[in-house]
């Protein structure tokens, strides 16, 4: 393209490149490697979901839905939240359907964080949070999940709170570590935020993927926390449809009013027939309640595959990610190791240092086990040879 004027762009995000998920998935495709990097299933979703969605399309339900989402979907979400966490959210005022959790997170940050405000995040931190904070002129303040148990240190978090702290973002079950926050963690958060104006943004997209009989601790189940929180979830994770990009956010009406002010001009709303299809499909609760045992079998299968390898597996209490130390195999930095594993061994993974602002490298990589057993077995055979 020819342009006479040389435009100088002063990037708002000078240190941000292409997300690691795009980089590693592309490398996997280029090398023909088994892709255990970006988190998505390699198996098909339930045909009943497609039929319900196609029915909606054929019935002519193809125009704009209400800004907050289809009423039947918001009611189904309210019913699910009540059944799981014992609290009724108002489907008209307190639940909004979003274009995936990513948009919910970005919009929530844009709605509440002003220039110069501080937002506390926990490292290793999911990659979309900090760019969203910085895009709106906020400042990320970093707390740490300890290595290798990935637990928060709440007294340290207390010392990071300042008059400028506007938001704390938590994520449980946690990507990339597979760790969980429990009731004591949430109690500590209640104490920390009491009598402040801090909004809690709780990323609970893996709420149904919790293992070994444990229960997901949602901020929704604690009234004092719920009243200052927006909770985010994603149908992509729950129904194996990451490419549909549909999620939702729920929270107290005063917070949701502010969220929607931005949402209506950010995406306005989310496609109609998929919302109707999901509303119909989610009425059968076994479809989300069965997810934990479904993925627990995959976790155990994948861990068995790596038994006898030189990878050292860290605990995985939830999500569909398994972390592994590789210091018995190589002393390369994790980004290099991930590239090498993809190119030379044929298995793509995510290096965990990308989730640290200073590139802290504990020589740990992340595997996604949301895959068919044949895929996990083929990867296991390669990984045991390393």
Q: List contacts with ligand PMP (CB under 6 A).
A: 39, 100-102, 126, 171, 175, 203, 205, 234, 236, 242, 247
- Tell me the closest approach of the beta carbon of residue 173 to ligand PMP, in angstroms: 8
Task: Give me 181's structure tokens.
Answer: 């926050």
**Residue 334 binding target from ligand GLN, ligand PMP, none, CB below 5 to 8 Å by type:** none
DSSP of 254-288, one letter per residue? HHHHHHHHHHHHHT----HHHHHHHHHHTTSTHHH
- Is residue 236 part of the contact set for ligand GLN (CB under 6 A)? no
Residue 168, beta-bridge partner list: 120, 200
Q: Judged by CB, which is closer to ligand GLN: 237, or 363?
A: 237
- Tell me the closest approach of the beta carbon of residue 245 to ligand PMP, in angstroms: 6
Q: Judged by CB, which is closer to ligand GLN: 105, or 282?
A: 105
- Tell me the closest approach of the beta carbon of residue 315 to ligand GLN, in angstroms: 18
CB 182 within 8 A of CB 163: no
- Dihedrals φ, ψ of 100, to 5°? 80, 170
For tokens 């002129």, the residue is 137
Which of 91, 175, 193, 305 binds ligand GLN (CB under 6 A)? It is 175
**Residue 101 binding target from ligand PMP, ligand GLN, none, CB below 5 to 8 Å by type:** ligand PMP
C-alpha 219/C-alpha 231 separation (Å) is 8
**Count of other CB atoms within 10 angstroms of residue 233:** 26
**Count of other CB atoms within 10 angstroms of residue 44:** 10
Q: Judged by CB, which is closer to ligand PMP: 23, or 329?
A: 23
**Residue 379 binding target from ligand PMP, ligand GLN, none, CB below 5 to 8 Å by type:** none
Site map (CB under 6 A) of ligand GLN, residues 19-58, x = contact: x-x----------------xx-------------------
Residues 6+ apart with CB under 8 A from 102: 128, 245, 247
Interface residues with ligand GLN (CB under 6 A) are: 19, 21, 38-39, 175
């Amino acid at each position: 393209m020819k342009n006479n004027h040389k435009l100088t762009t002063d990037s708002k995000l000078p240190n941000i490149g292409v997300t690691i998920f795009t980089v590693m998935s592309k490398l996997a495709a280029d090398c023909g490697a088994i892709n255990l990097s970006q988190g998505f299933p390699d198996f098909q979703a339930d045909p009943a979901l497609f039929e319900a969605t196609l029915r909606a399309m054929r019935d002519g339900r193809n125009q704009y839905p209400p800004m907050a989402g289809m009423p039947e979907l918001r009611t189904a979400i309210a019913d699910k939240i009540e059944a799981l966490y014992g609290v009724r959210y108002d489907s008209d005022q307190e639940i909004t359907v979003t274009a995936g959790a990513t948009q919910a997170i970005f919009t929530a940050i844009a709605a509440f964080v002003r220039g110069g405000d501080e937002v506390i995040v926990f490292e290793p931190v999911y990659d979309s949070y900090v760019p969203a904070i910085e895009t709106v002129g906020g400042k990320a303040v970093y707390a740490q999940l300890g290595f290798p148990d990935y637990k928060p240190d709440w007294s340290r978090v207390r010392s990071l709170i300042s008059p400028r702290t506007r938001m704390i973002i938590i994520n449980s079950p946690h990507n990339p570590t597979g760790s969980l926050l429990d009731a004591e963690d949430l109690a500590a958060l209640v104490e920390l935020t009491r009598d402040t104006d801090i909004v809690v943004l709780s990323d609970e997209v893996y709420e149904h993927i919790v293992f070994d009989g444990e229960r997901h601790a949602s901020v929704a189940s604690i009234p004092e926390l719920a009243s200052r929180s927006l909770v985010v979830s994603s149908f992509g994770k729950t129904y194996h449809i990451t490419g549909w990009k549909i999620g939702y956010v729920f929270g107290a009406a005063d917070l949701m009013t502010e969220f929607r002010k931005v949402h209506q001009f950010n995406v306005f709303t989310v496609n109609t027939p998929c919302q109707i299809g999901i509303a119909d499909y989610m009425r059968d609760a076994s479809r989300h309640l069965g997810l934990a045992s479904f993925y627990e079998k995959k976790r155990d299968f994948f861990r068995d595959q790596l038994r006898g390898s030189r990878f050292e597996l860290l605990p995985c209490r939830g999500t569909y990610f398994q972390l592994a130390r590789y210091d018995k195999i190589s002393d390369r930095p994790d980004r290099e190791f991930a590239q090498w594993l993809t190119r030379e061994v044929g298995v793509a993974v995510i290096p965990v240092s990308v989730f640290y602002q200073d590139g802290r490298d504990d020589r740990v990589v992340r595997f996604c086990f949301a895959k068919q057993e044949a895929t996990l077995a083929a990867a296991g055979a390669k990984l045991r040879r390393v």
